[in-house]
Amino acid sequence: MEKEAVKDAEKSRAPRPVAASVVKLRAAVEKASAGGGPARLEAQKARGKFTARERIHYLLDEGTFQELDLLVSTRAVDFGLKDKDIPGDGVITGFGQINGREVCVYAQDFTVLGGSLGLAHAKKIAKVMDLAYENRVPVVGLLDSGGARIQEGVDSLDGYAEIFQRNVKCSGVIPQISVILGPCAGGAVYSPALTDYIFMVEGISQMFVTGPDVVKAATGEEVTFDGLGGADAHSSKSGVCHFVAKSEPDCFRQVRELLSYLPQNRWEKPPRVANPDPIRRHVPLMEQMCNLDPRKSYRVHHIVWQIADEHKFFEVQAGYAKNMVTGFCRMGGEVVGVVANNPAHVAGALDINASDKAARFIRFLNCFNIPVLTLVDVPGYWPGVTQEHGGIIRHGAKILFAYAEATVPKITVILRKAYGGAYIAMSSKHMKGDFNFALPCAEIAVMGPAGAIEILYSREIAACKTDADKAALRAKLCAEYAAKFASPYQTASTGSIDEVIEPSLMRYKIVRALRFLKDKRVPGTHENRGNIPL
């Protein structure tokens, strides 16, 4: 009996024959998963780039990726496509997890027909975007493509239109992230432009509507691919790119970090985390700032770092419009979007680019239930013919519109200067700010004291006989004007400031206000709000 039992056990351990249908499936999956083949995979690595599957592996939590439509293939037959092997039609689609939370993802495979987009390729992307929209999860696109597949003609252009339409449908409903990991040219650039955030990697990412050759033929200008549409050009000059990474792993780390600050959809709030940083922690640096000469510059980042939980700040568009700082931090464990004037760059004044940058960020926060913390130190709008002719009136109005439209909690702290129309634009009380605070050193006025007295007391100053007399009179008049018209106490007396606060208590005041506002609701504002590119 024992011998028979041993024999039965050995039989159970012996490999069983695999059904022919399973063998066929495994072969088809292995073939489709191989991309463009060993030679093209090696060529991709020789360019310093990961393969599409490696990218998904680095981006998602280990073992969570579930692929969809692996066996989809093009139905096009012209120009030899019928006889070509095009695994997955050049794009990998599916879903997985990032930080334990569900996301949908697609990754274009440059090793398969240069990642070019045909109709089947587009339908796969559209399908996974529909899946993200219907299940209320973020969608991340990894783009590495030669553009529209010429062999498929207008079908490929129609495919792009299907994707654009879904970008707009998803806007303000689920977070959309584009990661540029190779070329992105022509009409292909408009899908990333319609998403919320764009990541690029130095040395391998390019975006442009027309390439260097076309530019040279049309205008005579000679420019390299990177010079025209590389990461530096789009992060510092055009503002198209929000984040720049040194390498692909660094890029995927940044994507994961960004998603840690975002909700899954517009119906949820951002994830709260345990906060080891005491909310009553004093901020001595703020008292030092109150002693700072109003004409001296400083980086507003130091203020944000001081008040944020564990001094962490995730900046958005760090290289663009540096007079305006935007980004995410946590305060008391809750996610906050920061909008701050930066006196270290053009005195923190508002200009065209800063207005666009802030307005779109505020609108994103409003779409996804993230409170806005506004730190104000603004001397006004940046003057000049270039600004006026460039449309500062139109662009400046965007930030006004964004703040007035926003129904999420809005907390404002005036650090030093808040003059003229820029004071209004930076989430003033009458732009429906929920809590508006000011430091005791704040100056809030129609214009700065030095400029105001030149208008109000021009005759008295002109009547002085010596330059010394003029200087003495100016100093006296400036002090009087500041005390009467630019004082935070004067503004507080009218209710335009809720409280003049102790500088060292700034962090506590903000966290306390955020906790009070956590259940804020404004009736009639739950309709879908898209995040249109500005």
Q: Give the largest Cα separation in the chain, rounded.
A: 125
Nearest to 92 by CA among 50, 48, 134: 50
Q: Rounded to whole angstroms, how far apart are CA atoms 95 and 87?
A: 19
Quick one: which H or E segment has residue 200? strand 197-201
Distances in whole angstroms, Cα of residue 231 to Cα of each of 8, 201, 206, 319, 322: 65, 6, 7, 11, 17
Structure tokens at 96: 């997985």
Q: Rounded to whole angstroms, how far apart are CA atoms 181 and 156?
A: 21
Give every CB contact of residue 394 below 8 A, 6+ residues apart in sequence. Answer: none
Nearest to 182 by CA among 255, 112, 109: 109
Structure tokens at 159: 């495919």
CB 70 within 8 A of CB 33: yes
Judged on CB neighbours under 10 Å (0-12, 13-18, 19+), 335 is buried
Q: How many residues does the chain have?
A: 534
Nearest to 207 by CA among 225, 184, 226: 184
Q: Which residues of 215-233 are buried (b: 16+ CB within 10 A; e: fewer)?
A: beeeeeeeeeebebbbbeb
Q: Which residues are catalytic?
A: 186-187, 421-422
Alpha helices in 104-224 (DSSP H): 119-135, 154-170, 190-194, 212-219
Angle at 187 between CA 181 and CA 191, to 5 degrees: 60
Give every CB contact of residue 248 below 8 A, 6+ residues apart in sequence. Answer: 49, 50, 55, 58, 181, 201, 204
